Structure 1
């Protein structure tokens, strides 16, 4: 009964069904200018619950998983650490790329990357909370995914298909040991805690612009088609960029888009990447991503700031209108 309710309710990462768009407050500008959060906030993973957007980021300022909230995707406020204690299998200091999915009215799963004390590699864990602001807790004595022989596992991203089936996507950290990197997909159990079936390789770093890395996967369903957004190249270089592939099913096969990359370095933003596509109540699609200031690539401060740009669709292809560093219309 719960699963049937979720399939028709506002529990997907791309939109919150049944919610209404928040009006622009009187006197507030109808435009905004990037970045929307002018401080370090790498690897954003985003959901909407009710009228509020929640963004989860890579560790920083003493927080394992820092949280930002926003009513409109433009105005963001820090809200502390949603994962104050890591799972017993993990050591602090390398908690990366968290993403959250809502499984029931009072059940949220957070997938995060951390350093395994047993293998010394980055691995993926899952933590549960009753609310999107946490606190999340990982009760497992071991990570959910840990491909130590492939360099480790990072950048986990959950996806719920139209029929309610759950999937998880991630990257093996092959570049850490000089090996090929792949984007993987696998089915998840309904409770979000167990992987089922076999992992499937969906994409590898084979294109010239990929460099040694493909990472940060996010699967999106639009008009009955599946799109696998991802980032590639060195995260601390201007060559870092965003591309996508089209997939026949949630587990492939996937075909890389010939027009890639679709978001790359531009005025005001260097090495844009680790993107997350969201859909507003009005049906608009927008891309949240991090980027370096061009004169401070690889910096600790300000680090990778949070950017937002519109995505249009032309003949079934996503067109990112960015990076945009001049005023643009706010999301509807």
Structure 2
């Protein structure tokens, strides 16, 4: 029984006091460099972390170092003071630095080709991760003006030591869809081998014809391709991912983006240009976001965990549909206004409950955002975490089919956790939970 029907006997609140949940305690991403440092690439060489960014007043390839990923970070001299002979200055974007098997450091960068009049990919080498890097050859590494040019190079080395180059064709620059490409290269990182493979192509409405900044990693048996989408100049820019069980695909795009301005509750604006660093002590995602009235992009870091083989970022909301949880003396119903067309109703009895399994990258404090509708006055559920004591969640009257959110603090263990919402007073339906 639910809205519109009155229970013969109301379930009364327990005689003993039940505590309210803690205040919302989302841990937002941390700002590492609070000045312009867009499209950060991050690596650890030896005991030092190195970060490289798109050009600004600090040079063609600004670089910073730290002894800990959380800083403090110190800016260093320009890593690439002289571009390749093919390139003109001022548009040096999205560097990527890796170490080759021979010990040398390989830099990929994007710059403007004088001949093509488009952004193209170049390479440079150095004996130190700080450079100075010396450009390789007199021509771009990849440069196809017919596809709008090529940008956003990244390196990937598989478990057998085979090296690959990832990049984006700049199709959106000429009004065409954009694609992300995988190209095998020799151990030197600059000799192309065989034909390239298209991994992903733009096409979703939120992409606006743009997918870019590819970064590839593997966890378990799954390849995870991180990328940015949308126009970079504001809040619409975001980070998503696609997965495949084979290096060359096919790749399936995530249903929801990994990080957006909204999913981060505006703590970071336009999160994009992400890079991933994998370490035994814990993984992180490093990315940029707009600051100073959209005049500069700062560098941020957040903890990265893996729910099975799928990425979860601490501080960015992950949605869990209530109807996909474990239901007891309640059931799912269709709803044209609910997320994914269903909600949980009939949570009307003392033994009615929904249990949802959620994931936390690290142990600690999180926020559960609960989407509900209550149509006959204020209602309450009891929220318990991992079988612990319940705390009252209050749902102000909203009207049926008018989904609102209440936010409560929860303490979660690293990995999987269970959240149970049980009937406590009056009547409410559940749409989803979001954990940040």
What is the TM-score of this pair, normalised by structure 2? 0.64
2:277/2:284 contact within 8 Å kept: yes
* Counterpart residue number, 1:277: 276
Structure having the larger proportion of residues in strand: 2
Larger radius of gyration: 2
CA displacement 1:274-321 (0-9 Å, x = unmatched) = 100112341x1110000013x612x1xxx0000001112112211111
Inter-CA distance 105–50: structure 2 relative to 1 (3 Å threshold): farther
* Counterpart residue number, 2:200: 203
* Counterpart residue number, 1:174: 171
Inter-CA distance 186–139: structure 2 relative to 1 (3 Å threshold): closer
Is 2:314 the partner of 1:321?
A: yes
Choose the corresponding residue for 1:187, options 184, 194, 198.
184
Choose the corresponding residue for 1:49, options 45, 50, 54.
45
Aligned-CA RMSD value: 1.8
1:106/1:131 contact within 8 Å kept: no
Choose the corresponding residue for 2:258, options 249, 253, 262.
262
Runs of 4+ in 1 over 4 A off after TM superposition: none
* Counterpart residue number, 2:95: 98
1:201 CA drift (Å): 1.0
* Counterpart residue number, 2:36: 40
* Counterpart residue number, 2:230: 233
* Counterpart residue number, 1:311: 304
Q: Distance in 2 between matches of 1:140 and 1:274?
A: 27
2:58/2:77 contact within 8 Å kept: no
1:112/1:124 contact within 8 Å kept: yes
Count of matched residue positions in the alignment of Structure 1 and Structure 2: 289
Is 2:284 the partner of 1:286?
A: yes
CA displacement 1:136-167 (0-9 Å, x = unmatched) = 11131110001210100000000000000001
Secondary structure, aligned partner of 1:209: helix
Secondary structure, aligned partner of 2:146: helix
Is 2:136 the partner of 1:143?
A: no
* Counterpart residue number, 1:123: 120
Q: Distance in 2 between matches of 1:312 and 1:193?
A: 33
Q: Distance in 1 between matches of 2:234 and 2:209?
A: 12
Q: Distance in 2 between matches of 1:74 and 1:305?
A: 14
Q: Distance in 2 between matches of 1:81 and 1:63?
A: 5
Stretch deviating more after TM superposition (64-73 or 311-320): 311-320
Gapped regions of structure 1 (runs ≥ 5): 1-30
